[in-house]
């Protein structure tokens, strides 16, 4: 009898992951919850190395770890009803293998998470091999990416469902943050402070220009385990009221809790850049001031759970920051609405339930 789902993990699963989650040192991961929620087997880079064989290792040498992981899925496909790829970096090469060699065996359903499919190289690859025919569902986090797929490949809405992203609502909560010890040099600052987090398409020069001279302190956590973007703060002149620092996820939780609100300054883009930090902060009942880009339009409800500002406009961003500093009641009210959105729509548990439904519908 075939196993149900093979789920890719674009990385190596840490050996101490479950111990850290159980000790509440880090949030639950989506892939662990998905594995438990719909009985998926996980395959990461390390496990892929063990199953690909000589040809697969050659693919890895030529195409990198993601291509190797995609080939491992191809080799194992006969054992599964569904191959679930956690991004187009795995899903597209797997679809290429299916297009070229899939006639030699069974074709399990293929569900692919879509982060950013609109780059020129990815679109050319899809068009060259007709890969849209090899993917049963494109699970998109951004309605802009959904629109791009509709326009370019004419797929039905059923095959390209909008799938809201998620946050571990249990880890990122005010209850957990309040029980957490203070962080010297951060939580003992007397002035009010705000923060901004992440690297992907962040516009920290505009943010720093907007806050320079304000009688508040600003923390910028310019780090990300996923982004390959350069840290814009590394070569910039840092204003006196700004501290740039790296934080663990647990430290970030405390930083969110103690901040007056959170700013997400973004460069123009067409996907959900900043979504992880946005949802983490919203789960801590924080209002978000966010650049309204083409891609980041699906979470913030302007003046209900946050404020939108034009990208790369320091004057408008400064105005929004001052407005919330002068109106803490408004910031608090919108922060409560932000947490409500997480509980009602964008929690990790709801995310897993939605994905399980998509798997059932494509079996």
pLDDT of residue 230: 65
Check whether residue 58 and residue 190 sit in a common domain.
Answer: no
Q: Do 140 and 210 lie in a common domain?
A: no
Q: Assess whether 336 and 353 both reside in one domain.
A: no
Residues 83 and 182 in one domain: no
**This model's pTM is above 0.85:** yes
> What integer pLDDT is reported at residue 1 of this predicted model?
44
Same domain for 184 and 333:
yes
Angle at 221 between CA 217 and CA 225, to 5 degrees: 175
Same domain for 189 and 263?
yes
In this structure, are 340 and 226 located in the same domain? yes
DSSP for 283-305 reads: HTT--EEEE--SS--SS--BTTT
What is the rounded CA–CA span in Å between residue 148 and residue 96? 20
- Of residues 80 and 185, the one with the higher pLDDT is 80
Over residues 14-26, mean pLDDT: 96
Q: Which helix (H) or strand (E) holds 177?
A: helix 174-179
pLDDT above 80 (res 3): no
- Whether the pLDDT of residue 224 is over 60: the answer is no
| pLDDT tops 80 at residue 190 | no
Average pLDDT, the chain: 93
Total structural domains in the chain?
2
Predicted local distance difference test score (pLDDT) of residue 184: 83
- In this prediction, residues 302-312 reach a mean pLDDT of 97
Domain CATH code at residue 245: 3.40.50.2000
For 221, the domain range is 174-345
Residues 6+ apart with CB under 8 A from 142: 270, 271, 272, 295, 296, 297, 298
Q: Is 249 in the same domain as 145? A: no
Same domain, 153 and 203: no
Tokens standing for residue 70: 């995609």
Report which of residues 312 and 3 the model is more confident about: 312
pLDDT at 18 over 70: yes
Q: Which helix (H) or strand (E) holds 197?
A: strand 193-197
CA atoms within 13 A on the CB side of 8: 33
Residue 147 sits in the same domain as residue 124: yes
| Residue among 336, 349, 218 at smallest CA distance from 282 | 336
Name the H helices within 1-133: 17-22, 30-38, 45-51, 53-63, 65-76, 88-101, 120-129
pLDDT value at 202 more than 70: yes
Residues 325 and 273 in one domain: yes
Q: How confident is the model at residue 103 (pLDDT cuts 50, 70, 90)?
A: confident
DSSP per position, 28-39 = PPHHHHHHHHHT
Q: Are residues 89 and 201 in the same domain?
A: no
- Kindly tell me if the per-residue pLDDT of 7 is higher than 60: yes
């Amino acid at each position: 009898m075939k196993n149900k789902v093979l789920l890719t993990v674009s990385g190596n699963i840490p050996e101490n992951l479950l111990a850290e989650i159980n000790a509440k040192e880090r949030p639950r991961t989506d892939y662990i919850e998905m594995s438990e929620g719909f009985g998926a087997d996980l395959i990461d880079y390390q496990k892929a190395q063990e199953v690909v064989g000589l040809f697969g290792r050659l693919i890895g040498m030529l195409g990198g770890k993601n291509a190797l992981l995609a080939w491992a899925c191809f080799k194992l496909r006969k054992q599964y009803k569904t191959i679930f790829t956690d991004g187009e970096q795995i899903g597209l090469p797997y679809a290429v293998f299916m297009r070229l060699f899939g006639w030699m065996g069974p074709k399990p359903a293929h569900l692919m998470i879509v982060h950013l499919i609109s780059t020129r190289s990815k679109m050319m690859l899809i068009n060259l091999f007709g890969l849209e025919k090899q993917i049963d569902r494109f699970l998109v986090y951004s309605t802009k990416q959904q629109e791009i797929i509709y326009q370019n490949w004419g797929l039905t809405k059923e095959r390209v469902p909008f799938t809201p992203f998620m946050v571990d609502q249990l880890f990122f909560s005010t209850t957990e943050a309040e029980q957490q010890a203070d962080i010297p040099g951060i939580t003992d600052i007397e002035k009010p402070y705000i923060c901004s987090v992440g690297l992907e398409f962040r516009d920290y020069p505009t943010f720093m220009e907007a806050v320079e001279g304000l009688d508040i302190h600003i923390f910028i956590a310019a780090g990300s385990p996923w982004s390959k973007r350069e840290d814009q703060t590394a070569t910039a002149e840092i204003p006196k009221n700004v501290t740039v620092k790296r934080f663990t996820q647990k430290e970030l939780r405390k930083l969110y809790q103690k901040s007056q609100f959170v700013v997400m300054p973004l460069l123009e883009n067409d996907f959900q850049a900043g979504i992880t930090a946005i949802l983490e902060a919203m789960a801590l009942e924080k209002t978000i001031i966010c650049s309204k880009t083409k891609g980041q339009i699906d979470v913030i409800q302007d003046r209900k759970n946050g404020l939108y500002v034009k990208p790369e406009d320091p004057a408008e961003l400064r105005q929004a920051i001052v407005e919330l500093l002068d109106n803490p009641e408004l910031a608090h009210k919108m922060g409560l609405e932000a947490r409500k959105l997480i509980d009602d729509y964008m929690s990790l548990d709801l995310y897993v339930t939605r994905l399980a439904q998509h798997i059932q519908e494509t079996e």
